[in-house]
Amino acid sequence: KKRAERRRRRDQSGVRVVAIVGYTNAGKSTLLNTLTDAGVLAEDKLFATLDTRARRLHLPDGREVVLIDTVGFIRDMPEGLFAAFRATFEEAAEADLVLQVVDASDPEHAEHERTTAALLDELDLSGLPRLTVYNKLDRLEPAERDALERLPDSATISALCKDTTLSLLRRVSALLGSREAEPLIEEEAEPAPREQAEA
């Protein structure tokens, strides 16, 4: 009920929603903390985040969005566990953009990407606009970083270092579109026909 009420308020305000998803321990909660000073628990253990966290985030263009952190995926998730976690992704289903965070330093990160993509498909979230965010660049060799930075539809960061996230936020702004699409702009444009009618 609380999640439904939060979604209703966001729909009324016209605030855009960005959901963070990814394999467990990819750095999703760390990214949320770095971007919003949220203070969310971020530990290197399975399912450290068990519920959905939502925080406000100000983009470089001045817009405010809601950033949602979700539970981490695992390979071969048991059916009963998957069903229980489905409810935590109800808010992610309303997102305007999905950030798929990947631990680029993990030797199995390619497999983790495939697992995440498959689970997003099962959750009916695969159709949402998505940006892959390669995290933990500080642990990579220069050649590995360069290769990731050249990939399309992706961004590279170290979630522990806020300075590395500015380019990510600019990409988010661009993918969410211009400010002109927001309800506030439309409401300000409404008086014109009334003034013409009075004239």
Q: What angle do CA 102, 108, 111 make, to 5 degrees?
A: 75
| Res. 128: pLDDT tops 80 | yes
| Res. 189: pLDDT tops 70 | no
| Res. 191: pLDDT tops 60 | no
Residues 141-168: what's their mean pLDDT?
95
CA distance 43 to 55: 19
Residue-wise pLDDT for 35-57, tens only, equals: 988 654 444 444 444 456 788 89
- Cα dihedral value 181, 187, 190, 195, nearest 10: -140
> Which strand (E) or helix (H) includes residue 34?
helix 28-36
Query: Is the model's pTM score more than 0.75?
Result: yes
Residue 96, CB half-sphere, CA atoms under 13 Å: how many? Answer: 19
Please name the residues in contact with 91: beta carbons below 8 A apart, sequence gap of 6 or more: 3, 6, 7, 17, 19, 52, 54, 68
| Res. 16: pLDDT tops 70 | yes
Q: What is the layout of strands, in order, in the sheet containing 154-156?
A: 53-58, 64-69, 16-22, 97-103, 130-135, 154-156
Q: What angle do CA 98, 166, 62 make, to 5 degrees?
A: 80
